[in-house]
Amino acid sequence: MSTPNPLVDWDERPAYDQIEPADVVSAMTAVLQESEEALFDIEQDPPITWKGLMPRLEQIEDRVGRIWGVVGHLHNVKNSDELREVYQEVQPKIVTFYNRLNQSKPLYDVMTNMKEGENWRNFDNAQKRIIEGNLRNAMLAGVGLEGAAKEKYNENAKRLAELSTKFSNNLLDATKSFELVLTTPEEVDGLPESSLQLAAQTAQHKGHEEATAEDGPWIITLDFPSMTPFLRHSKRRDLREHVFRAVFTRASEGEKSNRQLAKNILQLRQAQAELLGFETYADLSLSRKMAGSVEAVSDLLNQLRSAARPHGENDVAEIIEFAKRHNAPEADEFKVWDYAFWAERLREVKFDLKDDELRPYFPLPRVLDGMFKIAKRLFGIDIREATGAVPVWHDDVQYYNVFDEKGDPLAAFYLDAYSRPSEKRGGAWMDILIGRSNVMARPGQDVRLPVAYMNCNQSPPVGDKPSLMTFSEVNTMFHEFGHALQHMLTHVDYGLAAGLANVEWDAVEIASQFMENWIYHRPTLKSMAHHYLTDEPLPDHFIDKILAARTFQAGYQMLRQTYFGLFDLTLHSNFDPQTGSIKEVQDHIGAETMVLPSFPEDYFYCGFSHIFSGAYAAGYFSYKWAEVLSADAFGAFLEAGLDDEEAVQRLGRRFRDTILGEGGSRHPMEIYESFRGRPPTIDALLVQEGLVN
């Protein structure tokens, strides 16, 4: 009898503690073969009804997606040479399968007939959206191509997947290969205690067993919890420059360079767009987004840039003037690597606010408790920890169950909170283990309940202290929780439209950015922030400072985001990857948008994983697009009064029932207007950012 494969043979939750890289190839080979056979059987005599066809298609997609999803998740959080090898071996087969599925002419013809048939009027909204989404995806996957064009499209798709993975791996390798070893007190002058503790702990993990926060040695890495405090607090300008340059030149030189990879990715995307009849890849990408057109996105980004520009110029001028008043030599030749340090000094003086004064009030357990309480208040859900009840991939991972107001189970999620630069990719993200579905329900159950992953890269516990979070890390946690809520609180039972399924990509940030607003709500902040030793609540004077500092340097930060969005949009809409220079586009957009010029060797795009190895190609604008909607949505609560408990709960339930609940069953703008009662406006965002009164 053969040994069960833990990647395949799991029912409710994978046995992460048993999965090995060696399981991947055999698991995916078997699953893909079964799915190919199931697809072939359907194509021989395609059912002509929803009930006959769509559940069978969902079963095929779910079977492949959930098992490959586990592999992809482990590739992100437990990266290793062995896992990379098998991932890269299987990935082309996955691409081939999905091309085969999406390019199935028999299935396309049946769904076309459904849409054009007399029974179409009897389909509900979700069914119509699913059929229309499948038809659109099929067209964008090349179902209309024949012969050489189809072969070329499929070849390009495999190559794109391969290059995107390589881009991500190069970035991870470049990030973890850098370390700055500091050995003298003068080299760590200015660093807060938490940063010294983390740097010493990093040194211990890298073989310096004698390292202490007091005496060193200390190691700074490009991992966010290490690098960011260093740039904000180190008094050594030369070392700040060294670290800053390392960040913005990552993966731009040598055998791990992403320069040519980025160009090749753009070339292949443009080729795919042209094969499908689009003028540019941006046109292709926007054909399945809310924004709809390059012009609409460009108008939004330029509108935001125009509003932010004078504020951004004032922000930088204020910082330079502040540095001059403190007789800083760099004030006469201010550089980008000076910005974070002097912005932090100005913030400390202007608001009397320091990160390390706040950290003790934001231990992770307290933050989670406060976050779960606001979710209960708004959405009527109860979240209970069940860590230890299921296998996990690392001892630090926590597990939670979600219940409704009656105590019935709704969903579950894993939380992987801490940075592990040796094996876990940077940034923060939500991902999906399984989605809500009546088709995939176990025997005796009406529906399968959704399970999410929440992944962050915040400061880990140091010594006997819990993870003490910066306010920025608290913001990130609330952001990812918003994504998880949209996946978990859907009430759509069709798996192909539940949660984030079938949702336009520039709508997926609405819930996440909406949740960020609550960390600036005084009662929420007061209830959440308690000192990890004394349990003393965060004093009111700190809360006053946090609220006052919310719009600090908002113009500069808005320009930074529009810079990224315009750069992405330009590369995918007005750039010839055959003859053009990505670096020239970067420099041009930067000069038009940012107040502080960068340095000549800045190749930040070699680390721009959002657009080169993520899902934001010609879609980075989604953050600002959705921020307009999220600010406008929170405006409904402000108008009702945040202290009006009845109104807040009523609006919270409406938000849950519409934006969180309806998934991809309706167009996002229709859903938004169901919540808000009108279309969104940009006004709330400009007020929130302090760009207008």
Catalytic residues: 480
SS3 string, 229-262, reads HHHHHCCCHHHHHHHHHHHHCCCCCHHHCCHHHH
Locate 466 and state its tokens: 């819990």
DSSP 382: E
Cβ atoms of 341 and 234 closer than 8 Å: yes
Strand, coil or helix: 192: coil
Cβ atoms of 78 and 423 closer than 8 Å: yes
Cβ atoms of 172 and 423 closer than 8 Å: no
Q: What is the dihedral of CA 618, 624, 627, 631, to 10 degrees?
A: -150
DSSP 265-320: HHHHHHHHHHHTT-SSHHHHHHTTSSS-SHHHHHHHHHHHHHHHHHHHHHHHHHHH
Locate 601 and state its tokens: 């060797």
Cβ atoms of 437 and 448 closer than 8 Å: yes
Contacts of 44 (CB under 8 A, 6+ apart): none
In degrees and rounded to multiples of 5, residue 307 shows phi and psi of: -70, -35
Count of residues for the chain?
Answer: 693
Amino acid type, 242: H
Cβ atoms of 477 and 456 closer than 8 Å: yes
Locate 428 and state its tokens: 């923060």
The span from the CA of 181 to the CA of 24, in Å, is 38
The span from the CA of 174 to the CA of 167, in Å, is 11
DSSP 507: G
Amino acid type, 615: A
